[in-house]
Each structure stands twice: as C-alpha cells, then as structure tokens.
Amino acid sequence: IRSTWAMLFIRLLFLLFSCYTFSCIGKMLKDQDQTLFLKPKDCPVVEGESRTVIKAFESVEQGEGRGARVRRSLGRPELRYLDPFLMLDEFKLLADPEVGFPDHPHRGFETVTYLIQGAFEHEDFNGHRGILGDGDLQWMTAGRGIVHSETPVVGSDNTLNWGIQLWVNLKSEDKMCEPSYQELKGKDIPKVNADGVRVNIISGEAFGVSSPIKTRTPTYYLDFEMEPRKTLKQPIPTSYNSFLLVIVGSAVFGANKVKVDAHHTIVLSGPDSGTHIEVTTEDEYCKFVVVSGQPIGEPVVQRGPFVMNTPKEIEQAFLDYYSKANGFENMKGWHSRAVKEGRF
C-alpha cells in the first residue's frame, strides 16, 4: 500500500512539474516576437505594374520641440501634404531632462509614434500615461482635443531615443470624435521574415499578414529591412497615395529604378498607376518605411497643432483651447509630470 501511495505521489509531482514547465515555456513564447518566417515559394504572388518614383528629396534636419532635432519628410516645402498624411518626422533625442515635446495640444487628426529604440514617456490631461520602449507603437486619435507631453525617460539605460512620428488626417465627420489610443508593444507588432526581407506591420498588410490596428483613415504603415541583393514587391491598394522614407542604407525603387540613399523621402506615382512598389537592394542593407493611405479629398486648413477643414473651425479650435472648453476642459490645473518637475 505504501509503495502504491508513493508512486501516486511521485506521479502527482511529475504532473505538477510538467504543467509548470509548459506554463513557463508558453510565457516565454508569448514574450518573444511572433515572427512568421516565409520561404520565397510561400510568399504571395504580386501581379501588375510597380508604381514609379515621381520625386525624391533629402529630409533635412531641423529643430523641433524643446532641444529636439528631427528629419522632416512630409510637411516641408518639397512636400507640404500628401492626402491623407500631414507630417512625418524621424527623431533622435538624447535622454536629456530638458529635451523633448512638453505639454502641447492637438485637434482634428491622429499622431502615430513608433519608437525604434529608447524609452519615451507619454502623459495626457485625461490621465492616460505610459512608457514606450524599443519597437513599441502608440496610435493616438486626438479627435476633438488632447493636450499631452512626450519626453525621453530620464535616468534610463537608453542614451538615444530614435523613432518616427506620423500625422494622419481625419475625415470631417471624425475630427470631433472622442480621443482614443491603440498601443502595441514591440513584441506584439506582427512581423514577417521572407528570405532576408523583414517587415514590422504597424498597420495594413504585408505578405498576407495584417496588423490588429484599426484605422479611421485606411492606412498601410510598414517598416522594412532588406539584406543586400534582395527584391521586394509590396502591394499598395490602387486607390491609395504612397510615400517612403529611407532611414538607413540605399536601394533601387520603383518601375523607373531610382536609387535613393538614407535620409531621403520618395513620393510614388498616384492612384491607379500601379499595384505595388518594387524595391531592390544592391550591395548594401536598407531600412525604410512605406506609408500609404486612402485620400480623403476634403479641404485641409492647418495652424500648428490643429487641422480642420475651414479657417472658421481653426479659429474655434484656438478659442476652445485658450478658454479650456469644448474638448479642452481637462486643461484646468493640469500639467505633465515633466513640467511639474521643472524640466521645462
């Protein structure tokens, strides 16, 4: 009898240990990047013609915020606006307590912050607060009004904060919606590795894999890395406008085979001009983002952080902001922690 009970006890211990082990393995897999590896034969076939490059220009570095430096791709003289996109900045900030983007407002559009490297703190006047880390994404719909702060995390191990911020316009019917957030940790952004072509699918679709991000304005936002001597054919919905930012290295883009280097913006031919963008690397690695979206086709009036359809709506936005009303009520008595600490 004793031996029987001993065997049962040993089996129970083994079962408990097995459950614990599988639980740990499951947690480890969950915490790791969920990358889909594809062989060339498994990649979706892309048919039709590639779009062409109609413009390429250098994204010159400029000052922005408090002590920050950015390379602006969209929202500069060479490319003021590409419907539905308003601005795209690549930023690199040191973890300095006096550098960043302290308390400031937005109305009428969305800001998309994608942190490639670093630790960035976000806080708004509605009580939403958090930290973006390596590879993390925040898709913020400002709607009728938000006041927030974006600053490097002081005292972190990150000496460099490197990322991209995109501004996406909203249709007139969505401009006064309630503010909201969609946030993804880097490990939760869908990824594909297709024989030396890697992509983080921030929004939209690549290689048959879709992002969970839901966009009010239909948008593809894809972060690609390509090893030397590789070719990519990335589909673009035929009704979308599209542009690219080359971040590192160089590659040959479009049906007209234009070689473009790092820190340059590429504007592609417009809707109905091709089904995809073809990219080929030569002897160099290349990192770039492809941004494509459905044009809204409405008037755009922008004054600083407010984007509406008419001058009168812009005047009302400033009036609401300064009077702390109609979406800006929570400004009363609010300051971000960075401001309260005297950093700005």
pLDDT of residue 301 exceeding 70: yes
Name the residue with tokens 């249709």: 171
What is the mean pLDDT of the segment spanning 281-295? 98
Radius of gyration of the chain (CA): 23
- The angle at the Cα of 220, spanning 218 to 223, to the nearest 5 degrees, equals 155
Q: Where are the beta strands (DSSP E) in 75-145?
A: 85-94, 101-106, 109-117, 120-124, 129-132, 137-141
User: What's the whole-number mean pLDDT along residues 251-265?
Assistant: 98
Q: How far apart are the first and last CA of the chain?
A: 76
**Which residues are CB-contacts of 267 (< 8 A; sequence separation ≥ 6)?**
53, 54, 55, 56, 79, 82, 243
Residue holding tokens 């459905």? 294
Of 266, 232, 228, the residue nearest 246 (C-alpha) = 266
The DSSP 8-state label assigned to residue 329 in this structure reads G
DSSP 8-state assignment for residue 83: T
pLDDT computed for residue 34 by the predictor = 72
- pLDDT given at position 6: 58
For residue 2, is pLDDT > 90?
no
Q: Is 328 left (phi over 0), alpha (psi -120 to 50) or beta?
A: alpha
Provide the percentage of residues in the chain whose pLDDT is more than 70.
90
Distances (CA, A) of 341 to 131, 148, 152, 267, 272: 17, 15, 14, 42, 52
| pLDDT at position 288 over 70 | yes
| Cα–Cα distances in angstroms (integers) from residue 206 to residues 36, 187, 304, in the given order | 11, 17, 33
Phi (first) and psi of residue 19, to 5 degrees: -60, -45
| Greater pLDDT, 34 or 64 | 64
21 pLDDT tier (thresholds 50, 70, 90): very low
Q: Exposed (0-12), middle (13-18) or buried (19+): which is 264, by Cβ within 10 Å?
A: buried
pLDDT in tens, 233-252: 999 999 999 999 999 999 99
- What digits encode the pLDDT tens for the residues 44-87? 889 999 999 999 999 988 888 787 889 999 999 999 999 999 99
Work out the mean pLDDT of the chain and round it to a whole number: 91
What average pLDDT does the segment 200-222 reach?
97
pLDDT for 130 equals 95
For 85-116, write each residue's pLDDT tens digit.
999 999 998 888 888 999 999 999 999 999 99
Q: How would residue 27 be classed by pLDDT, with cut points 50, 70 and 90?
A: very low
Kindly report, residue by residue over 149-184, the tens digit of the pLDDT. 999 988 766 578 999 999 999 999 999 999 999 999
Does the pLDDT at position 13 exceed 60? no
Q: Is the peptide bond before 84 cis (omega within 30 degrees of 0)?
A: yes
Q: Flag whether pLDDT at 30 surpasses 60.
A: no
Task: List phi, psi (to 5°) of 203.
Answer: -150, 160
Neighbour-count burial of 12, counting CB atoms closer than 10 A to its CB (0-12 exposed, 13-18 middle, 19+ buried): exposed
- Residue 67 confidence (pLDDT): 79
Average pLDDT over residues 306-312: 98
**Per-residue pLDDT at 94:** 83
Structure tokens at 95: 């973890």
Share of the chain above pLDDT 90, in %: 78
Q: How many CB atoms lie within 10 A of CB 287?
A: 17
Exposure on the CB side of residue 137, measured as CA atoms within 13 A: 21
